[in-house]
Amino acid sequence: MSQTQTRMTRQRAVILEELRKTTSHPTADELYGKVRERLPRISLGTVYRNLDFLADSGEIRRLEAAGTTKRFDGNMVDHQHVRCLCCGRIGDVMSPLPAPSVAGMHVPGFVEIRCSRIEFDGICDQCAAARSVSGD
C-alpha cells in the first residue's frame, strides 16, 4: 500500500481529482480556485501542503523551471513537456523520448543524481497568432 493510500484525506482526494481533470498544468493558486468550489473552507496553505505531499509521494508531478511559478501535472503517463517562451503555457508531449541515463553520472559537489527530464521550449499557437497580428 502506498503512502497516499494510507493517508488519503478528503481534501487530498479532492485536490488530486481536480488536478487529474485538467491538462493545463495549473499552479497551486489556480488549483485552489477549483478546489474551493467543492471545499469552500479549504485554505491555500492546505492546497500547497497537499500538492507537495502528492508530488513527494509520486502521485503527481511538480513542474519547476528556474524563474517560473511551480505547476503541477496529474498525468503520470510517461511524457515530456513543452513550455511557451512567451506566456509560460505548458503542453504535453505524448511521444516520450527516453530520459538520459543518470547511472554512474558524477557531478562535482553532488553526492547523487536521481533523475533527468527532457523539456522543450517553443511558442504556443495563441502567442504565434498574437505575434502575427501585431507584426512582431
Domain boundaries, the chain: 1-76, 77-136
Instruction: Answer yes or no: is pLDDT of 4 > 50.
Output: no
Distance (Å, whole) CA 26 – CA 71 = 5
pTM: 0.78
Distance (Å, whole) CA 136 – CA 133 = 8
Return the CATH number of the domain spanning residue range 1-76.
1.10.10.10
* pLDDT, tens only, 54-99: 999 999 999 987 667 899 999 999 889 999 999 888 999 988 677 7
Task: Compute the half-sphere exposure of residue 73: CA atoms within 13 Å on the CB side of its CA.
Answer: 17
Return the CATH number of the domain spanning residue range 77-136.
3.30.1490
All 3 cell numbers of residue 93? 508531449
The overall longest dimension of the chain from CA atoms, in Å, is 56
Distance (Å, whole) CA 125 – CA 130 = 9
Angle at 68 between CA 66 and CA 47, to 5 degrees: 120
Q: Do domains 1-76 and 77-136 have the same CATH topology?
A: no
In this prediction, what percent of the chain has a pLDDT beyond 90?
60
Q: What sign results for the dihedral spanned by CA atoms 114, 1, 43, 92?
A: positive
Instruction: State the pLDDT at residue 114.
Output: 80
Helix, strand or coil for residue 82? strand
Instruction: Answer yes or no: is pLDDT of 3 > 60.
Output: no
